[in-house]
Amino acid sequence: LYATTQEQLDLLRFPLGEMEKAETRALAAEFGLAIADKPDSQDICFVPNGRYADVIERLKPGAARPGQIVHLDGRVLGQHEGVLRYTVGQRKGLGLSAAEPLYVVARDAQNARVIVGPREALSVSRVDLRDLNWIGDTPLSALPPEGLEVAVRVRSTRAPREARLHADDKGVHVLLAQGEEGVSPGQACVIYDHAGAGARVLGGGVILAEKARQLPDTPELSLATS
């Protein structure tokens, strides 16, 4: 929805927009529609057997290049068989033995590195955006110097988080008030006017880079997509 233009929105109508999914299913069953009990779609239809890595490897062979698994403090902890096989926030399947639980906090495709660290390293405070589509009433050029209070969602399974939107001649970024986990370049960042029920979509963009919160004795890590 965030990618639609104001002209397109003027033509759109959502007759089921005020209804929950359970209500919609109940109506479909009442009307005898065959799709009433159809399972929710969970996977991408063009990925056979859910093997995403095989599709990515065909499209971008370099993503399957072996490389190092590196801790945030610079230690090389192991080897991997391609950054495409890992996701930000992943804990299982790393093949590492460590005194503390380790999570994938970033993927450095250019250098074939998988960066790992403690869970608190997943918390991101700043997100830079590209290809922003803005459908809010206030022009981006008119945002206050301290930024616009908004809510943003970077994962479909997480609720919107309070943030401030900033726009200047260097680009657009959001500052997350409490941080967010699982933020990864290439994902969509959707901007809302607030975090509660009935929130309005103001726009969104593609995550260009993310900056993790600084941890004790750990340098800040900022990685952008290649």
Q: What is the mean pLDDT of residues 121-141?
A: 92
- Does 195 share its domain with 151? yes
- Does 155 share its domain with 177? yes
Instruction: Supply the pTM of this predicted model.
Output: 0.73
- Does 184 share its domain with 215? yes
- Does 107 share its domain with 127? no
Q: What is the mean pLDDT of residues 191-217?
A: 80
- Does 130 share its domain with 189? yes
In a domain, 23, yes or no: no
Range scoring the smallest mean pLDDT among 16-20, 42-46, 178-182? 42-46
Q: What is the mean pLDDT of residues 108-124?
A: 89
- Does 176 share its domain with 208? yes
66-104 tens-digit pLDDT: 999 999 988 999 999 888 888 888 999 888 888 889 999
- Does 115 share its domain with 135? no
For residue 35, the Cα-to-chain-centroid distance in whole angstroms is: 30
Q: What pLDDT does 100 receive?
A: 87
With cut-offs at 50, 70 and 90, classify the pLDDT of residue 216: very low
For residue 58, which phi and psi values (nearest 5 degrees)?
Answer: -70, -40
1-40 tens-digit pLDDT: 899 998 998 998 989 888 999 999 999 999 999 989 888 7
Interatomic CA distance for residues 209 and 194, integer angstroms: 23
Q: How many domains does the chain have?
A: 2
CATH number at 131 reads 2.40.30.10
Interatomic CA distance for residues 221 and 81, integer angstroms: 22
Q: What pLDDT does 225 receive?
A: 41
